[in-house]
Amino acid sequence: MTTALRESQDRIFENVMRTLLHAVIQNAVVTSAATLWPVALRVDAFILRAAEVLPFEEVNVINVATGERFWTWIEPAAEGSGEVAVHSGTRSPVRTGDTISIMAFATFHEGQTLAHKPRIVTLGANNQVISVGEG
């Protein structure tokens, strides 16, 4: 590869933006599911802080049993409540008692991607945080 070609490719990748997993909350058990408006996901504020997910951030939710996915935004519930409530509008992809994973993504410049490690929060009984780590 010529030096000029390599430099050209380097300049192209300097401007590349990549979307990577920022945080995942694993083993969350849905405490309530309803076809209410506004469509949103309410999660215990302590869990959100542990995952470094901001209120009103867009998240992807996966029903672990069915594999069904949907996008919504997240809002804080009372701290320490263990609440994971899904308000899904007209059709609910989850039911009370279902286990879900909640994923948040962030966009990084190419140079930031090498050092990035996603935040992994694992929940136990009553949606209490049992571990926080990096992927």
Total residue count of the chain as it appears in this document: 135
The answer to whether the CB of 102 falls within 8 A of the CB of 46 is: no
Q: Is 55 exposed, middle or buried (0-12, 13-18, 19+ CB in 10 A)?
A: exposed
More confident of the two residues 8 and 14: 14
- Reported as a pLDDT band with limits 50, 70 and 90, residue 13 is low
Q: Indicate whether 5 pLDDT > 80.
A: no
Does residue 11 surpass a pLDDT of 80?
Answer: no
Q: pLDDT over 70 for what percent of the chain? A: 90
- Does the pLDDT value for residue 63 go beyond 80? yes
What does DSSP assign to residue 89? T
Give the residue from 49, 62, 47 showing the smallest Cα distance to 127.
47
CB neighbour class for 122 (10 Å; exposed up to 12, middle 13-18, buried from 19): middle
All domains of the chain, ordered by start, with CATH?
A: 17-134 (2.40.40.20)
What is the distance between the alpha carbons of residues 81 and 78, in angstroms, rounded to a whole number?
6
Per-residue pLDDT tens over the stretch 33-47: 988 777 789 999 999
> What tokens were used for 74?
């997240």
Distance CA 132, CA 135 (A): 10
Under the phi-then-psi rule, with left for phi > 0, alpha for psi from -120 to 50, and beta for the rest, what region is 33? beta
